[in-house]
Amino acid sequence: MCGIVGCIGSKPAAPMLLDGLSKLEYRGYDSAGIAVRDGEGDPVVVKAKGRLKVLEEKTNNGHSVPGSCGIGHTRWATHGEPSERNAHPHMSEDYFVVGVHNGIIENYQELRDKLIRKGYQFESETDTEVAIKTIDYYYKKYQMGPIDAIAKTMVRVRGSYALAVMFKEYPGEIYVARKDSPMIIGVEDGETYVASDVPAILKYTRNVYYIGNLEMARLTTEGATFYNLDGDVIEKPLTEIKWDAEAAEKGGYEHFMMKEIHEQPKAIADTIASVARKGDQGKYIDLETLELPEEVIKDISRIYIVACGSAYHVGIAAQYVFEDLAEIPVTVDLASEFRYRKLLLDPNGLVVIISQSGETADSLAALRIAKESGVRTLAVVNVIGSSIAREADHVFYTLAGPEIAVATTKAYSTQLIASYLLAIQFGHVKGLLDAARVDELITEMETLPDKIEKVIDDKDRLQWFAAKFANEKDIFFLGRGIDYAISMEGSLKMKEISYVHSEAYAAGELKHGTISLIEDGTLVVGVCTQSDLYEKTVSNMVEVKSRGAYLMGLTSYGNYNIEDSADFVVYIPKTDEHFAASLAVVPLQLLGYYVAVTRGLDVDKPRNLAKSVTVE
């Protein structure tokens, strides 16, 4: 999962490439590089190990690299260590073909061996260099044009890729291709852009084309021409991006993560408003945009939720809500497991893929497997036009807007909201929730944004508490039911950005191992928002306290007797308990954030992680 960007027009390319890459750093940030061509001359290639700022310094913010046609790349290493040598762009001899790539070429070793037998030499350990030299090989051997040489390479390679390539003999042109890795093309007044994601080019244009799977394009100052794998020209609709560039800027916050935590109330309100309507009998849910008619919902016998990372944790919370409100059995799978299991899917089942990016490789593969087995699929996705959104039978778009911090907050929150809305509507269609109950539930959901504001208002207390525990070795999160799902997300937030080891445990499982890890002063966070499970979880908290744990309790206002057991308590406003995750997750996001800040870490770009995991 790397970021690629390219541009061609009349303006200097290098400053734009660096600016575009700065918006894609969330995709990878261990090295970066650009290749820029001035007229018919050979490209100037500059690469640097480390963050983008090293490349910016090396090129005087791009001003020392002349030319108006170029490609750039920010890397998250898969094949070969992060180094200048392995950084992109890669090229064939004498700059014949120069390119950048996002994805993984699975059969790169076999292709590399073949190319070595044909006399090619390799400068790096990357699979990308193999792809570029394969294009070079076909281009020269068969004296093909760029499109045919790329198409032949696409047939030969296995894996995923978004490629942007320049050919020595075609100055003023960039060629791109994609399979399973995201890529968009933008056009505006004689300037043409390509990028892995919208924020990279949003400052320059709002008019974009979504290039499809196994498609290619030729970019010139006049725009883009699209081709299928047979080399035939194909037409694409131009789409206008509605959200503004500001949405992808920090807007006065120190980190994107903090900005995005504060954006949750609006993101949630927007997502509710996208399907909630008011009629004669009160508020109701309209899933017309999902093209999911009531007759179809009535027949759903099982739900399979499949996702990765935080989206998987949404699935765990959603399971309880679906089973309770819609009485449909739910299984929740990690996409990376689902795709390699013998699946005995019920033909009347519904596979729900949850994904912020809509590009996560395992989730996309899981979706395709579900479709191949003939089961209906529904995607809950944030990025419009992403692969998962395009391929699923039905799409529920979360309206979180662009999320930049690697650790998700507002996308997670809108995914929860989408799952509540689906569960309510499914329950209603099945005759389990009458119109009055639906109205009541929607009305309660509509109070969540204000309640989240209140939780955020209390952030100073959490900052103080986080500073006290910033040097912890281990932190444990406990809960039952929905509180267990909240614990899983709280624990992930903690470890991914603060690098403090943390684990979430179903509170009842504690005695089967974890309790032996409790030492004097170990921080244990007990989540207790579900009244029927409250006493049981508090008992488990007392058990760890008697082994020396320091207890933080997280519960709703009113449950003040928790103070008899916990050393520190965070209260959230009362809400319908099905929706408790939406409120309880916020203090845990803030806790992870402040521990990371206290430890002086790069909150938005945690080490070794990337936001969009487009490789397996």
Q: For the CA atoms of 193, 196, 197, 203, what is the dihedral angle to 10 degrees?
A: -30
Q: Is 136 in contact with 125 (CB distance < 8 Å)?
A: no
CB of 538 to ligand G6P, least distance (A): 30
Query: Measuring CA to CA, which residue among 268, 258, 255 is closest to residue 462?
Result: 258
Task: Return the residue matching tokens 């994805």.
Answer: 103
Identify the active-site residue in 2, 69, 308, 528: 2
Whether residue 536 lies in the annotated active site: no
**86/387 with CB nearer ligand G6P:** 387
Query: Measuring CA to CA, which residue among 184, 200, 176 is closest to residue 24?
Result: 200
CB of 386 to ligand G6P, least distance (A): 9
**137/412 with CB nearer ligand G6P:** 412
How many angstroms from the chain centroid is the CA of residue 32?
Answer: 21
**357/537 with CB nearer ligand G6P:** 357
CB of 117 to ligand G6P, least distance (A): 39
**15/385 with CB nearer ligand G6P:** 385
**59/360 with CB nearer ligand G6P:** 360
**192/356 with CB nearer ligand G6P:** 356
**201/308 with CB nearer ligand G6P:** 308
Identify the active-site residue in 451, 459, 495, 611: 611
User: Mapped to the 3 state alphabet, what secondary structure does 190-235 carry?
Assistant: CEEEEECCHHHCCCCCCEEEECCCCEEEEEECCEEEEECCCCCEEC
Closest residue to ligand G6P, judged by C-beta, is 309
CB of 312 to ligand G6P, least distance (A): 7
CB of 389 to ligand G6P, least distance (A): 11
What is the C-alpha separation between 549 and 552, in angstroms, rounded?
Answer: 9
Q: Using CB under 6 A, list all residues that contact ligand G6P.
A: 308-311, 355-357, 360, 363, 406-408, 609, 611-613
CB of 612 to ligand G6P, least distance (A): 6
Q: Nearest 5°: CA angle at 563, between 557 and 567?
A: 120
What is the C-alpha separation between 56 and 15, in angstroms, rounded?
Answer: 9
How many helices (H) and strands (E) the chain has is answered by 19, 27
Task: Return the residue matching tokens 């390509």.
Answer: 194
H or E segment and range at residue 523: strand 523-528
**6/182 with CB nearer ligand G6P:** 182
Q: Is 375 in contact with 350 (CB distance < 8 Å)?
A: yes
Whether residue 2 lies in the annotated active site: yes
CB of 82 to ligand G6P, least distance (A): 18
Q: Nearest 5°: CA angle at 79, between 387 and 209?
A: 25
CB of 488 to ligand G6P, least distance (A): 11
Phi, psi angles (nearest 5°) of residue 503:
-140, 145
What is the C-alpha separation between 92 and 130, in angstroms, rounded?
Answer: 9
Give the dihedral sign, CA 528/531/537/542: positive
What is the C-alpha separation between 487 and 24, in angstroms, rounded?
Answer: 30
Q: Is 483 in contact with 504 (CB distance < 8 Å)?
A: no
Q: Which residues are the active-site residues? A: 2, 611
